[in-house]
Structure formats: C-alpha cells, structure tokens
Amino acid sequence: MEIVLNISVLVVFVPTFFFVSLTPGMCMTLAMSLGMSIGLKRTFNMMAGELIGVGLVACASVVGVATIMLKHPEIFAIFKYIGGAYLGYLGVQMWLSRGKMAVSTSSDTNAFNVSNFSLAFQGFITAIANPKGWAFFIALLPPFINQSQPLIPQISVLLFIILFLEFICLVIYASGGSTLRKFLQKKDNVKLMNKVAGTLMIGVGIWLAFG
C-alpha cells in the first residue's frame, strides 16, 4: 500500500499548522467571545460552521480557486462588509446587555435563544470572508502536496489534520471565555462580562470588514 504522506512531512506540517491555528485571530477571538456569552456547549455550533468554512478555504487553496478570488477582491467585499456589520451589530447588542447572546441581567429563562444555525453561520462567514486566511493556505498548504502522488488522498489527510488542530484551538479559546464567564458571574459582574464579550465581538466585526 502506497504511503499517502511522508512522516517527515507530518513532523513539519502538524506543529506548523497548530501554531498558526493557536495564534489569536478572528475565529479564535469569536470563539472566546461566544464562550463568554453563551458558554462552551453552544459555541460548538459556531465551531461547526467555522470548520466547514476552513475546510472549503483549504480545498480551494489547493485546487487554485483562491488564486482567482485574491485577484478579484470584490468577491470578498460582500462577505467582509455584511459579515463584519452583522458581527459588529451583535457586539453592540451584547455590550448593551441586549440581544439573544447577551447574558441576561434578570431571571429571564429565555436567554441565549439565538438559533444554532445563526451561530454556525457566524463561524462560516468569519472563516471564508478572511482574505488573510486564504492567503495563508495558498502560501503554506501547496508546498506539502506531493505532485507525484494522488492528490485526493493527500488533501483528505491534510484536511483532517487541519480541521482537528483548528477544533482543538477553538475549544481552548472558547473554554477560556467560558471560564471567565463563570468567574465574572460569581462576582455578579454580568454587565461587565457582556461588555467584554461584546467588545471582542465588535473587534472581530471591524477586523473582518476592514482587515
């Protein structure tokens, strides 16, 4: 049976992509913000959408679609500005302790009733509307592809590794936000927590739209 990827390739690939995924960015900041506002469990919905987006970007980078998109930045503009405005709006609502994702300051049992689809959509848009993400995959992913070997098996293995590492990093950031959420709630600083999470969300929106 033919080896899909050389061990020496994996030794370099795994730590490289883990370090890059762990580096603070839009998706990780979003995970932390949601971890603070809605908790780790519900943030998994955002992660699902984000991982789908990352997978699409990685695959497109290998087959060359991303090259065309980078030459036509107007394709990104729609996703960037609409996505950035939407995240910014949610951030403002959270900062004001309003909206579906803000931590309730009362005993309202209907808190956190934002839909799972909306959370997944946030993650998906944040992942695919980031030009730096496309550029990163174009620069780093193709060199790990052996042109003399079948393409699909290599992409499948690398994509699995990328998504696994990305998921681990998302959980780390969301867990940090969730831990901070519990700490602030114990201190009865719910409004402060909303402001911190909302500020992070607004920052992601601005970053997405103008970064």
Question: Quick one: pLDDT band at residue 11, thresholds 50, 70, 90?
Answer: confident
Cα–Cα distances in Å, from 6 out to 12, 71, 130, 159, 183? 10, 33, 30, 15, 45
User: Is 111 a residue whose pLDDT tops 60?
Assistant: no
Alpha carbons 166 and 164: distance in angstroms, whole number: 5
What pLDDT score was predicted for residue 124? Answer: 94
Can you tell me the distance from the alpha carbon of 133 to that of 23, in angstroms, rounded to the nearest whole number?
Answer: 12
Q: Model confidence over 143-196: pLDDT tens digits?
A: 777 767 777 888 888 889 999 999 999 999 999 988 887 776 665 676 777 777
Q: What is the mean pLDDT of the chain?
A: 78
CA distance 96 to 199: 10
Can you tell me the distance from the alpha carbon of 121 to that of 127, in angstroms, rounded to the nearest whole number?
10
What pTM was computed for the model? 0.74
CA–CA distance, 168 with 99 (Å, rounded to integer): 29
- How sure is the predictor about 52, in pLDDT bands with cuts at 50, 70 and 90? very high
Q: Is 81's pLDDT higher than 90?
A: no
